[in-house]
Structure 1
Amino acid sequence: MHFFRSLAAIAISLVAGGACIPDVEPNVFVLPRCEQVAPSCGPEAGESCCAESEVVGGQFNRLNDAGFPATVADFHLDRFEVTVGRFRQFVEGYPAARPKAGAGAHPLIQGSGWDPEWDAKLPAGKGELRASLQCDANFRTWTDEPTGNEAAPINCVSWYLAFAFCAWDEGRLPTEAEWNYAAVGGNQHRAYPWGEEAPSQELAVFGCETTTTVCPIPGVGSKSPAGDGRWEQADLAGSLFEWVLDYHADLTGACSNCAALSDGGFGRGSRGGAFSHTEETLSPTYRIGELPERTLSFYGLRCARDE
């Protein structure tokens, strides 16, 4: 059963509290920090960029391998990768938007919140933050002023900045197990988020020859609904690699609501493939680590939340 937070639900609570609010469009789904984000996402560029849905937890095999069983509790996961328009609200509130100690924690994983020692890894101010988002002259999606690129997925974001954004947005980075669970449809153990069909340009954004071609990165959800996962998340394969909470580490045994929180020297994890990468990276079994301070044009994020 899918669960969405809607403007209509927010409207009801405001009315009950005596607030005066305008009429709202039904079935427009929003997250806490999305008041100024236009509904410009999805294949028709008319969906809320801030949609989320409930991922019903359960048991599954990480990497579709029976040697790595795991249990995941129910959680909520953004339908779309975080867009330029969503990220703009964070930038405008920066540096006040920087997280407090312990923010962005997984409620079932001790020690998973923001570590104040990471403060030094974030840009010092708004100007430095904007400069960091210009990591690639050809493929960056950020623009200092809104210029029609607001529905593109934000890239050039470090792991620290991704964590900080999700914490500011009253969420958190998903664990690698949670991300993997959503991408394979839980115990359905799909070969790809959409099912068993081999990747194609109708299902995912991938395969740009970036050494010879400047490929525009399309708005999030451009392959929806055909490329969506079981719980309606778009672009779990292709578009951008997505940072996860975990350090990149070898998987071991069974686990329940787990995350690798010890640095093994291989950076932080990410999943999902990218516009600039090959078909093999689209598989939910493909894992890669990267230095968390790096800002790359093929890295982005989506956030998770809890009840």
Structure 2
Amino acid sequence: MKKLVYVSLLLILCFSGCHTNNQSSESESDLCCMPTTSQESRFLASPQTLGEAENNSSNQSLGDMVLIPGGEFEMGAKENQFAKPDEFPVHKVYVDSFLMDRHPVTNAQFREFVEATGYVTTAERRPDWQEIKKQLPPGTPKPPDSLLVPASLVFKSPDHEVSLSDYIAWWEWVPGANWRHPLGPGSSIEGLDDHPVVHVSWYDAMAYATWAGKRLPTEAEWEYAARGGNNDYIYPWGNEPVSAQRANFWQGNFPYKNVVEDGFQRTAPVGSFPANGYGLYDMAGNVWEWTADWYHPDYYAFLAQQVIALNPQGPETSFDPMEPGVPKKVIRGGSFLCNDSYCAGYRSSARMKSSPDSGALHLGFRCVKDID
């Protein structure tokens, strides 16, 4: 019973994990999403294709932010090998111009925010059982108090081959793990100022963005920016397969053997790999990144009914057929734990989701800003 309660707690508090590519991670749903009222956003420039945007842009940057020129693109999977059902159908989208952080928010940047505001992250707070049980089946017993402590998810590589469907085998709920102590008590971020901050929930990311006068990107903005000005690219760098020279990802047999060809066991300093066509770093690998949108597997099908979706803001409500009672936000970009055998999350169209109160060792964010 104690193990069952422990797993139940993980399902609510923890990142959902990736899923093997040889089985669908979604189930069919008859639910239909409705757009938010902000979908009627006005244009800041005449519609143009991604290629035209690339040609017309000076690719200028403003400090740590890069100008992403507005334009039209085809959102969704360009290939079938690794794509999941929720990456289809491909549909036309237009986004206005915006500014985007050149790289994920770093430990140094997040520390500045915390020191200025006194903010305490989700992982540093004791979980509220009254809130947790609202997302669990009625009658679920309360976990032992030893589990209801400030904690976060830490990756622990097993020493032997395990089933790729059993993510509990490599994720551990570690008391005391947070952005300051990424591996738990005794660990620190000393010397990691230029690494992406991790163990941040969606709420933490939103708090930082508000403080910085920015916001989180929509899912459409994120994918548009990730393609770097080329609508036909599968990855931010093009259509060539991922390699240790292109991104921070898992090389070897996941999750028990990492040969570390890229030189990084976990996160890498931001900007360690080449930028994409817009001058953005780490749009593939390193850490997953929060977006503003709620997750729903049928949202793309709704958008595809329109001639072109204008600045889509995501569905009004969330639904994940794997965990119907748990609202999820979309995360993008993959992480240092992704590889082709398990989680090809470094593809520009790849989608994953996590509950907004979750944090993990491979989950961070970057911000965007509107252009007035």
Q: Deviations over 1:122-162 (max 9, x none)?
A: 649xx649x96864386978337762110111111111111
Identity of aligned residues (%): 29
Instruction: Give the corresponding residue for 1:272.
Output: 333
Given candidates 202, 215, 224, the residue that maps to 1:159 is: 202
Equivalenced residue count is 233
Distance 1:259 1:245 in 2: 8
Given candidates 256, 260, 264, the residue that maps to 2:310 is: 256
Given candidates 72, 76, 81, the residue that maps to 2:99 is: 76
- Identify the structure with bigger relative contact order (alpha carbons < 8 Å, sequence gap 6+): 2
Map 1:144-293 onto structure 2 (within 5 A).
147-207=190-250, 209-211=254-256, 215-224=265-274, 228-249=275-296, 250-251=299-300, 252-253=303-304, 254-266=308-320, 267-279=328-340, 280-293=344-357
Contact 1:60–1:186 at 8 Å: present in 2 too?
no
With structure 2 as the length reference, what TM-score do the two structures score? 0.57
Map 1:81-120 onto structure 2 (within 5 A).
81-95=104-118
Given candidates 47, 59, 62, the residue that maps to 1:2 is: 59
Question: Which deviates the most, 205-214 or 144-153?
Answer: 205-214
Give secondary structure in 2 for the equivalent of 1:85: helix
Segments of 4+ moved more than 6 angstroms: 137-141
Map 1:30-69 onto structure 2 (within 5 A).
51-63=64-76, 67-69=90-92
Distance 2:362 2:334 in 1: 8
Given candidates 154, 178, 196, the residue that maps to 1:136 is: 154
Give secondary structure in 2 for the equivalent of 1:223: coil
CA spacing shift, 1:239–1:141, aligned 2, 3 Å: farther
Amino acid at match of 1:276: L
CA spacing shift, 1:132–1:187, aligned 2, 3 Å: farther
Contact 1:58–1:72 at 8 Å: present in 2 too?
yes
Per the TM alignment, residue 275 of structure 1 is displaced from its structure 2 partner at its CA by 0.2
Structure 2: any 5+ residue segments left out of the alignment?
1-57, 79-88, 127-148, 158-176, 182-187, 259-263, 321-327
Please tell me whether Structure 1 or Structure 2 has the larger radius of gyration of its CA atoms: 2
CA spacing shift, 1:158–1:255, aligned 2, 3 Å: same
Contact 1:57–1:186 at 8 Å: present in 2 too?
no
Contact 2:155–2:361 at 8 Å: present in 1 too?
no
Give secondary structure in 1 for the equivalent of 2:215: coil
Give secondary structure in 2 for the equivalent of 1:88: helix
Structure 1: any 5+ residue segments left out of the alignment?
6-28, 30-50, 99-121
Amino acid at match of 1:62: M
Distance 1:295 1:180 in 2: 22
Instruction: Give the corresponding residue for 1:10.
Output: none
Contact 2:291–2:329 at 8 Å: present in 1 too?
yes
CA spacing shift, 1:135–1:88, aligned 2, 3 Å: farther
